Amino acid sequence: MTRSRESAVSPGHGSTVSAADMAYLADLVRREAGIMLAPDHGVFVESRLAPLVWRDRLPSLAALVAELRAAAPGPRHREVVAALAIPETNFFRDGLPFELLRRVVLPWLMEQRANERRLSFWCAAAATGQEAYSLAMLCREQKGVPSPWVWEILGTDLSEDNVRRAAAGIYSESEVRRGLDPPHLSTYFEKQGKEWRVKEDLRVLVHFRPFNLVAPWPSLSSMDLILLRNVTMYFDTATRRTVFSKAHEALRPDGFLLLGAGETAQEAGDLFDLYQWNGVALYRPRGAPSGPRELAAESVNRSGAL
C-alpha cells in the first residue's frame, strides 16, 4: 500500500505530538536557536516537520524525534531546528519601515559617509532573501547618488536551505506578488519560466551566509544599519539581552537598529535610545551623535523601552 502524506502526520485539527516529544523539540530549538516553543504549538510543529517526515519516508513525526534522540547532535538536528525557525517573509514587509529607510535613514547615512562612500548593512534574519533584496532596491533608488558608491548588504539566516535560496534569488509568482509592485518587478527581476530571478546588478549588492544568532558571533563591527526584524519576539529574555548587546557591538556609534513591529529592545537596558517615525520604532546606540532631524523631532524617550 502506498503511504500517503496524511498517514505520516495527522490531518486532524488537534496535535498528535506527545508531551514528551514536544518537550524534547522545545528544548532542542531553545538550546540551538534561542527560540521558545510553547507546549500548545504542536500543530505548528507538525506542519513544519511534515515535509521532513514525508521526504525521509518515516512512519510518523514520533519516528523522527526518536531518530534525533538516538543520534549525536549533527546535521539532522540542525535541519529540524531550521525547519522550526522559518519565519514569514515578503518583499518590503510592513511598508512603513522601508519608507523610513528610503526617506530618512539612507539619505542621512550617505551624507555622513560622503568621504568614505561605503555603507554596510546587515539583515540578521534574512530568511529567503526578500528583506535584503528590498533594501538593495532602496539603495539603487537613492536620488542624486554620484558614482561610485559601495553598498555592502549581508543577509544571514539560521537555515542553510534559506541561504541557498536567497543567494540564488529565484522566487515564485506568488512570492514576488507579495510586496512588489509592477515597476519594481520589471526593473529588478527577469522571468525564468514560471519563476522570477533577481537581476545580476541587484544580486551583486547582497551576500548571504548561514548564521546562528545565539551562537558565538564573528567580528561584525562597523555596521551602519542592522535589521533584526521579527525574530527577537521568539527569544527568551536572556537571549534577547545577549543578542541586543552583540548588535550594539556590531553597530557603528552613529548607526541604526531596526526591529520588527511590536518588538522592543527593552532588554538591552541603557545601550540604545529609542526614536519613532510615523509609528515606526528605530534604535541608535546611546550617546550617538545627532541624527536625522526627522527622528530627533519624534524621539519618544531615552530609556530604550516603549
pLDDT in tens, 190-219: 999 999 999 999 999 999 999 989 888 877
* Nearest alpha-carbon partner for 201 in 250, 147, 251, 255: 147
SS3 123: strand
What are all long-range contacts of 286-291, with beta carbons under 8 Å and residues at least 24 apart?
287/253, 288/253, 288/254, 288/255, 289/253, 289/254, 291/108, 291/254
**Per-residue pLDDT for 2 more than 50?**
no
Looking at residue 158, its pLDDT comes to: 87
| 216, burial (CB in 10 Å: exposed 0-12, middle 13-18, buried 19+) | exposed
User: How far apart, in whole angstroms, are the C-alpha atoms of residue 105 and residue 165?
Assistant: 28
**Per-residue pLDDT for 189 more than 80?**
yes
Domains of the chain: 5-84 (1.10.155.10), 96-301 (3.40.50.150)
Q: Which residue has the cell 534574519?
A: 125
Looking at residue 296, its pLDDT comes to: 59
**Per-residue pLDDT for 109 more than 70?**
yes
Average pLDDT over residues 126-132: 95
Which H/E stretch holds residue 251? strand 251-259
Query: What is the model's pTM?
Result: 0.82
**Per-residue pLDDT for 6 more than 50?**
no
Query: Who wins on pLDDT, 305 or 240?
Result: 240
Measure CA of the first residue to CA of the last residue in the chain; give whole Å.
58
Q: Residue 144 — very low, low, confident or very high, per pLDDT cuts 50/70/90?
A: low
Looking at residue 1, its pLDDT comes to: 33
| Beta strand 150-157 pairing with 251-259 | unpaired
